[in-house]
Amino acid sequence: MPDALATPALPLSAAIEARLRGSPLVLLLDVDGTLAPIAPRPEYAALPNDTRQILADLTAAANVRVVAISGRSAEDARRLVDVPGVWIIGNHGIEVAAPGEAPSARDAVAGFADSVAEAAGRAERIADTLPGVIVENKRWTLSVHYRLAHPSVVPSLTARVAAIAKELGLALTGGKEVLELRPPVEIDKGTAAILVAEELGALADSASVLCAGDDRTDEDMFRAFRSRLPNAVTVWVGPESAVERTTAEFHVPDTAAMCELLEAVLNLRRATG
């Protein structure tokens, strides 16, 4: 549980503005549920045009770096964001891709490729018998979505997927109506975001960081930055009624408000040069 409830990020207060004036400013932004509204199926998700344009303007701004951090594969996240110049962290931190470069996976996960492939095959056979269950094979990790399935199947589905994870030596985590299978390595959005932030110079005293997300795996990122860099601006995207669930310091209610926040940050950077 958080020490205190997250407070609204909008309108930007003078205190928040002061924390975002550093150079470089690094923005670490979850994709689904933060930049793009949650869709019934992963392939239906789309980034609003206004959000994409603001991201493009931010990447073009002096001393600003934008990093999209996603549970999707790095290539899929790059396709969805579709903004040249954006860094990509995919598969909850397992993959990293600099702008214009191919993604590279962390060395520690390479030995689990066969296990993930076997898990994908088994999960797909389960999904074939359960209407509304969708398997998203991301090569290094696996997502079993049940947003479209009848709630009555979830306990059995969870037990069956947990059994696959146990038998193949994979880790099982949960998210918003999704089960995630991944290699049992000490990599998450928090560890990956800190490494990329350090590479981009964001851990220096003169730098600024804003990170935003909407799901359980984003809490790893919030905790990492609040511990390592207390001046970082951490933003949870979700309804005020559920704000007690996050360790982020601030919140906005939805993806439209997140777009508004990014526009405010862009205007701030333009005004201060």
Closest among 190, 217, 216, 194 to 207, alpha carbons compared: 194
Structure tokens at 11: 């309108």
Q: HSE, CB side, 13 Å, CA atoms: give it for residue 15.
A: 9
Closest among 166, 130, 133, 128 to 147, alpha carbons compared: 133
- Are the C-beta atoms of residues 212 and 29 closer than 8 Å to each other? yes
> Where does the chain show beta strands of DSSP type E?
7-8, 25-30, 64-69, 87-90, 95-97, 104-105, 134-137, 142-145, 171-175, 178-182, 208-213, 233-237, 250-252
Residues in the chain: 273
* Residue reference for tokens 């999707």: 72
Structure tokens at 197: 């932030």
For β-strands 104-105 and 95-97, DSSP reports them as antiparallel
Signed CA dihedral, 117, 120, 124, 126: sign only: positive
- Are the C-beta atoms of residues 222 and 248 closer than 8 Å to each other? yes
Of 30, 57, 76, 215, the active-site residue reads: 30
Active site residue 218: no
Measured distance CA(123)–CA(1) in Å, rounded: 32
Structure tokens at 254: 């939805």
- Active site positions, annotated: 30
